[in-house]
Structure 1
Amino acid sequence: MKTAHTFPWRRNTIWMVMLAAWHGMSAMAAGATHNVTPPDAATIEQQWVAANHPYDAARQAILAQTQKTAWQGPMQPDWQSLTGHTTPEWYRDAKFGIFIHWGVYSVAAYKGEWYPRHIYERTGEYANYYQHQITTYGPMPQMGYKDLIPRFKAEHFDPNAWAALFREAGARYVVPVAEHHDGFAMYDSKLSDWTAVKMGPHRDVIGALAKAIRAQGMKLGLSSHRAEHDWFYEFGRSFNSDVNDPRYAALYGPAHPGISAKGEDGQEVDWTFVSDAYLNDWLARSSEIVQDYHPDFMYFDWWVGQPRFHQALAEFAAFYYNQAATRGQGVVLSYKNNSMRPGTGMLTIERGQAADIREQPWQTETSISPDSWGYAEGDTYKSPDELVQLLADVVSKNGNLLLNIGPKADGTIPEQAQNILRAIGQWTHANGEAIYGTRPWHRFGEGPTQVAAGTMQDTKTKPYTADDFRFTTKDGRLYIIQMAWPSSGHAWIHSITPSMKVKSVTMLANGAAIPVDQRVDGLHLTLPAQPTGVHVYVYRVDMQQDASETLRKGGDASKS
């Protein structure tokens, strides 16, 4: 008989000593030029706990409900029990979603969403952030990240216009970031005063988006990156910055130093301190999002894989799945790398792809920009061709594409981003039959271009050619997706053999019937005039009845 796991509010003395020593060394280095001694580790923890004291009652109430729900339902908060979860069909059918990184960091519009961390790095690779901050907004400690919040007004934010654009692009679900590493909540939280409701826009941004997204018939996802907040502002501890001011501890968080070392096996081990108090707070904030907004999809960033989060993450997963079950809601919880046990959630590969068909549904998330997730002035953008090719490749391998955009601080979406989304929408409107509701064939595709598989590889794949094809199936039909237009006007697909008995081939973009020649060496198509728009082309293959049955049984290589 298992009992509920609790997280008492206590400090780990050994860790406190280690962190105090680290901060002592930092103080000597900083004091040489600034004559400043940052607070020691114990003081840091005390200040953070004290800053969060006003929310104790609300936190405990949320945690009590979380634990009750986690232990009363089809799932329990252990990894074996959680393998009973299956990915809902709505997600498997959706294929394409929109991610939104929008927050206070959009004010600076300088190189993206990690701006709040890097402005406290005075030397090294990111020193230009610090220089930009003090030149633009003023010296530290008088000015810091907190001082950008009043400038985040979102005066032109129109959630209905956003949702309509995403639907026009062909998205079936939308995932706004509810809180990024910076610790500023874009939703109406009972656990913080540093929220978009109480500061900045003075509006429940997530609540407004949730209503607009669902009104467009799309599913709502929400993203929390709060786990990383434990260390995000660590560089502000090394000199006289506002990160060390206890008045702002509730915003800047513990700001513990990131510590890693190699273990006995030679692999890097994360030794960054995470207190029990912080785990309690993380679990309560994550659960609060679910209780208040009932997202269909919950996204966590990579640091929930840190060992200290494992039990809290299991408790959250059981809570999330069980509360959704009471409403008959099929939900998705994503994870990265090895953060969760396979089968307990849905794997997502950041800015990367899979080399082949994965048995379990999966996702890649990437940004419309190759460089940033949040809005940045002078940013570059990927082409609609590149993004549709990525969509086709991912879907052919049993995955979904979550495509990110970064709105401006005033609430407008950059015009170039809008144009790209509309171009993708024109393609999905004409060719979506080969994407939505499909499943993989027995092979994902063919062609000379090799995908650079794995995390952070999205700009390393070479350009696709007219000899690269991807395959999907639905309702006994096979869909051929050609990644570029052949100058010869001829397509040759090796994987379709004469035994498949093709009845007809139709180009989806214009409904044109394609002349077919089935030979021993594959299927040969004589193509019509090149359609306009995105340069990715789809052909629907109808089989003779017996071949259609063979395709239906053997073509779906995926399993829930």
Structure 2
Amino acid sequence: MVRSFFFLILFFLPFHLLHAQPNVHPQSNEYEWPSDPAVKKKLDKWQDRKFGMIIHWGLYAVPGMIESWALCSEDWIERDSTQSYDDFKKWYWGLSRKFDPVKFNPEQWAKAGKDAGMKYLVFTTKHHDGFCMFDTKQTDFSIAKGPFAGNARADVAKYVFDAFRKQDFMIGAYFSKPDWHTEYYWWPKYATPDRNNNYDIRKHPWRWNKYKEYTFNQVGELMHHYGPVDILWLDGGWVRPLETVNEEVRSWGAAIPAWSQDIDMPKIASMARSAQPGILIVDRTVHGPYENYQTPEQRIPEKQIGHPWESCMTLGNAWGYVANDQYKSASQVIHSLIEIVAKGGSLLLGVGPGADGTIPSEAVRRLEEIGKWTSLNGEAIYNTRITRNYNDGDAWFTQSKDGKKCFAMVCLKEGAAMPGKVSWKGNIPKKGSRMVLLETGKAVKWNTDGSAVNVSLPASLKASPALAFSFDVN
């Protein structure tokens, strides 16, 4: 994952301090709808799901630090000034000899996701540091080759995918296009000044072709040996054809080399869809045929968007595991989910297991709290589509796919007493229709006053993050 926009300050070691990288993955209006019928069908299925879990888990879980980025020598990253950069990299790479997640429990992860009401998974098979969370044959730098090698579940991705499939999740494989560990991307002959490959591809085409082969083979392993995969989620948008670099990319503030970091996405996509027909490919920020949905990061777009997208956001402040992380409240997450769905998107919520292989208990509790709401009000979230009038103050609106039923979701202030009534303007129910409060399944009284809809609430209602109603529309 590229750095969090709202990543305030994270102490991942007592002496390592990182600052936020601004302008990461903004929303774009440039979108190309897929033409393949199988991809269209898969995309429609994904748009029904609305709520997913992204899991960052790798070497960075051992010290509980920022994922991969400490390796990158850019001016927004700070490290201990008494340690050389080379020594830091050696220390970081050496974490592979300590990563032994003896309590690895993907069933716990999948249960926590299901309990929250999540419907799809994106799992980091490899982040930018190049450490593989699957049994790749292309490198020994993987979870299956270190101290965890003797464990029956050493091929971690396989068991993660299996656990989530058993809970009826769509399966997504996160894969980093850059790989800072392999000499085909960061050649030890040269320094590693930033996130880009560190040699001129035009002068060393053989080396870059080896990197393209390396990348193709690793994606091929994931596509052919890990069961049905619904989403290939590709991160590291600076690895792209030079001609696709636009003002949006320049706004990231990162260096842009004079050569093209083209890994031949048409070839990768063709192979992936031969192995996994209809698979969604999410080549983040590289607009065109291989960006089947867009992924604004740590933010919600200002307005409703008609093409497919998801907001990828963290449950805490960090993508991966960090000790004593501060988690968002269930109300915050639910309010974000409601707004995102009303604007036409999905919420992909980030959770980071610890080095032992379990999700922290506080994160599990948050997910359970979120699930108490989604289990009662999910009809207004799942399998819905956007409405023309999608928002009025604290009220957000969706509709059933057939357009016959409208849903109103009214966000309530956290900690406030339950009001006696709620109101909104627009989306007036059909005259004489029955309005149902989803959390009780019972009808509620309503009336109109001009363009306003007023709904009386039962006195017995307990505090809730939001109230959801269903009603017929004209």
Shorter-chain-normalised TM-score: which range? 0.7 to 0.9
Bigger shift: residues 100-109 or 200-209: 200-209
C-alpha displacement at 1:83, in angstroms? 4.5
Give the secondary structure class of the aligned counterpart of 1:191: coil
1:94 paired with 2:49, answer yes
2:411 touches 2:465 (CA, 8 Å); kept in 1?
Answer: yes
C-alpha displacement at 1:323, in angstroms? 2.8
Residue identity opposite 2:104 in structure 1: F
Q: How many residues are treated as equivalent by the alignment?
A: 407
1:144 paired with 2:72, answer no
CA-based RMSD = 3.2
Provide Cα deviations, 1:420-466, integer angstroms capped at 9, x if missing partner.
1111111111111111111111232221xxxxxxxxxxxxxxxxxxx
Question: In the alignment, which residue of structure 2 is the partner of 1:11?
Answer: none
Of residues 272, 282, 286, the one that matches 1:334 is 282
Of residues 380, 385, 391, the one that matches 1:445 is 391
C-alpha displacement at 1:305, in angstroms? 3.6
Of residues 320, 329, 332, the one that matches 1:383 is 329
CA distance in 1, matches of 2:361, 2:455: 38
Of residues 439, 452, 455, the one that matches 1:522 is 452
Question: In the alignment, which residue of structure 1 is the partner of 2:425?
Answer: 494
Of residues 314, 321, 343, the one that matches 2:273 is 321
Give the secondary structure class of the aligned counterpart of 1:541: strand
Residue identity opposite 2:173 in structure 1: L
Note the 1:62-101 alignment, pairs <5 A.
83-84=35-36, 85-86=39-40, 88=42, 89-101=44-56
Q: 1:358 to 1:288 in 2, by over 3 A?
A: same
Question: In the alignment, which residue of structure 1 is the partner of 2:410?
Answer: 482
CA distance in 1, matches of 2:191, 2:217: 20
1:228 paired with 2:178, answer yes
Provide Cα deviations, 1:113-158, integer angstroms capped at 9, x if missing partner.
135416x78xx66444566x89xxx993795112212221111111
Question: In the alignment, which residue of structure 1 is the partner of 2:222?
Answer: 289
Question: In the alignment, which residue of structure 1 is the partner of 2:246?
Answer: none
CA distance in 1, matches of 2:376, 2:122: 24
Of residues 197, 205, 225, the one that matches 2:156 is 205
Of residues 534, 540, 555, the one that matches 2:470 is 540
Q: 1:505 to 1:319 in 2, by over 3 A?
A: same
Residue identity opposite 1:510 in structure 2: T
Question: In the alignment, which residue of structure 1 is the partner of 2:109?
Answer: 162
Residue identity opposite 2:397 in structure 1: R
CA distance in 1, matches of 2:210, 2:400: 49
Bigger shift: residues 390-399 or 483-492: 483-492
C-alpha displacement at 1:311, in angstroms? 6.0
2:418 touches 2:462 (CA, 8 Å); kept in 1?
Answer: no
Percent of aligned positions with the same letter in both sequences?
A: 26
Residue identity opposite 1:376 in structure 2: V
CA distance in 1, matches of 2:291, 2:352: 30
Residue identity opposite 1:206 in structure 2: A
Q: 1:96 to 1:143 in 2, by over 3 A?
A: same
CA distance in 2, matches of 1:130, 1:282: 34
Question: In the alignment, which residue of structure 2 is the partner of 1:471?
Answer: 398
Flag the structure with larger Rg: 1
Residue identity opposite 1:335 in structure 2: D
Question: In the alignment, which residue of structure 2 is the partner of 1:507?
Answer: 437
Of residues 412, 417, 428, the one that matches 2:363 is 417
CA distance in 2, matches of 1:189, 1:535: 44
Residue identity opposite 2:276 in structure 1: A
Of residues 136, 140, 161, the one that matches 1:189 is 136
CA distance in 2, matches of 1:479, 1:141: 53
Q: 1:363 to 1:305 in 2, by over 3 A?
A: farther
1:113 paired with 2:43, answer no
CA distance in 2, matches of 1:374, 1:285: 23
Q: 1:408 to 1:542 in 2, by over 3 A?
A: same
Residue identity opposite 2:453 in structure 1: L
TM-score, normalising length: structure 1: 0.66
CA distance in 2, matches of 1:251, 1:522: 60
Note the 1:338-417 alignment, pairs <5 A.
339-341=286-288, 345-370=292-317, 372-417=318-363
Residue identity opposite 2:178 in structure 1: E
1:515 touches 1:526 (CA, 8 Å); kept in 2?
Answer: yes
CA distance in 1, matches of 2:389, 2:289: 23
List alignment gaps of at least 5 residues for structure 2.
1-30, 202-207, 243-259
C-alpha displacement at 1:197, in angstroms? 0.9
Q: 1:117 to 1:472 in 2, by over 3 A?
A: farther
1:433 paired with 2:379, answer yes
Q: 1:249 to 1:280 in 2, by over 3 A?
A: closer
Give the secondary structure class of the aligned counterpart of 1:478: strand
C-alpha displacement at 1:416, in angstroms? 1.3
